[in-house]
A = this chain, B = another copy of it.
Amino acid sequence: MLIVMNHNATAADVAAVSRIVQGMGFRAEPIPGSERTAIGVLGNHGYVEDCNILELSGVQRVIHVSKPYKLVSRDFHPENTIVDVAGVKVGQGCRPVVVGGPCAVESEEQIVKTALFVKQCGGDMLRGGAFKPRTGPHTFQGLREEGLKLLAIAGKASGLPIVTEIMSPDNVGLVAEYADLLQVGARNMQNFDLLRELGKIRKPILLKRGMSATVEEFLAAAEYILAEGNDQVILCERGIRTFETATRNTLDLSVVPLIKEMTHLPIMVDPSHATGKRSLVSPMAKAALVAGADGVLVEVHPEPEKALSDGPQSLTFPGFEQMMKEIDRLTIFLQNG
């Protein structure tokens, strides 16, 4: 529920309404705006009677929000959120960022070599999986803590912030020690205990859309993180599951401008997982930026044909370099638009 105050409501009015709301057992979150102040009511299960509230001084109207999210919506927070990842700014109005790296950390040589190359080509962050969610238990599950340590070495060598996946609430402390941006994978988008735990830390989160998540469910998942107090969340479209098998998933690029209308959070795109095909990564990365994405996440590997996972969708070094040149030109074009 959203309580919209009059243009000329006083701070005392706002405080009084907030006290009443708290007295009803809910949380009240004032949302000051340039034209009006609104008070978000959180913690209610279902409909809240509004007749008493409407009579309070300074109250203009009450909006019963049926949507499962509030803090992430533009209604509650009209200004764009800029997420700061160890100094790299992500969000509307910032230069779009490129996150590059292998699907999985495999060895020190592999990750350091890649990190240096990503940096050299102008990439902004290094990605690499240490904990890998795999369909079956009998395949490579990542180097785990050892992988985190190698990422730290590569991050230090290149100066790039580190992006890596977190799979379990138990590991939040461990991963947060090494990562500058903690990634929640598509399979865990509705792992609510994990989301709540990530809401309690003070590091930014990259939340990937679930394979069959609607836009509403995607934003509601982000709401779990914000509701615990962490508003440094970057969304990431990575393809949805459809009947089409010519690509690994179906990149739902239209949600980029749509989500920008609905939320103040930044959104990035992962064309590697979305398409599953190396040759489609660069065109879709550029299309994502033109559609308004705040950045892209791409897989790059020194020897994709020997990669332990996701080889066919990983760019080679020359492929990554070429894409970066084209993205550079495109970014300049877009910023002069």
The reply to whether A255 and B246 form a contact with Cβ atoms under 8 Å apart is yes
13 A-B contacts, Cβ less than 8 Å apart?
A44-B138, A69-B136, A168-B169, A188-B191, A212-B241, A214-B243, A240-B250, A244-B255, A247-B252, A253-B253, A253-B284, A254-B274, A333-B333
The reply to whether B138 and A70 form a contact with Cβ atoms under 8 Å apart is yes
The reply to whether B138 and A68 form a contact with Cβ atoms under 8 Å apart is yes
CB contacts under 8 Å to B, within A189-206, are: 190-193, 196
The reply to whether A42 and B138 form a contact with Cβ atoms under 8 Å apart is yes
The reply to whether A283 and B291 form a contact with Cβ atoms under 8 Å apart is yes
CB contacts under 8 Å to B, within A123-181, are: 133-140, 167-170
Is the C-beta of A10 less than 8 angstroms from some C-beta in chain B? Answer: no
Residues on the B chain within 8 Å of A190, using CB: 133, 135, 187-188
Is the C-beta of A8 less than 8 angstroms from some C-beta in chain B? Answer: no
CA distance A215 to B188 in the complex (A): 19
Residues on the B chain within 8 Å of A43, using CB: 138
Is the C-beta of A227 less than 8 angstroms from some C-beta in chain B? Answer: yes
Given contacts A191-B188, A283-B292, contact A214 B245 (CB under 8 A): yes
| Copies of this subunit | 4
Residues on the B chain within 8 Å of A258, using CB: 246-247, 275, 277, 280
The reply to whether A308 and B46 form a contact with Cβ atoms under 8 Å apart is yes
CB contacts under 8 Å to B, within A43-63, are: 43-46
| Beyond A68-B134, A133-B190, A187-B192, 7 extra complex contacts between A and B, CB < 8 Å | A135-B217, A137-B227, A167-B193, A187-B190, A215-B244, A283-B291, A287-B288
CA distance A223 to B291 in the complex (A): 32
Is the C-beta of A112 less than 8 angstroms from some C-beta in chain B? Answer: no
CA distance A198 to B43 in the complex (A): 31
Given contacts A137-B224, A250-B240, contact A170 B167 (CB under 8 A): no
Is the C-beta of A80 less than 8 angstroms from some C-beta in chain B? Answer: no
Residues on the B chain within 8 Å of A211, using CB: 212
Residue of A191, A192, A258, A288 contacting most chain B CB atoms (<10 Å)? A192
CA distance A251 to B46 in the complex (A): 28
The 3 A-B pairs at the shortest CB distance, nearest first, are namely: A68-B136, A212-B212, A168-B193
CA distance A190 to B254 in the complex (A): 26
Interface string of A299-312 (1 = CB under 8 A from B): 00000000010000
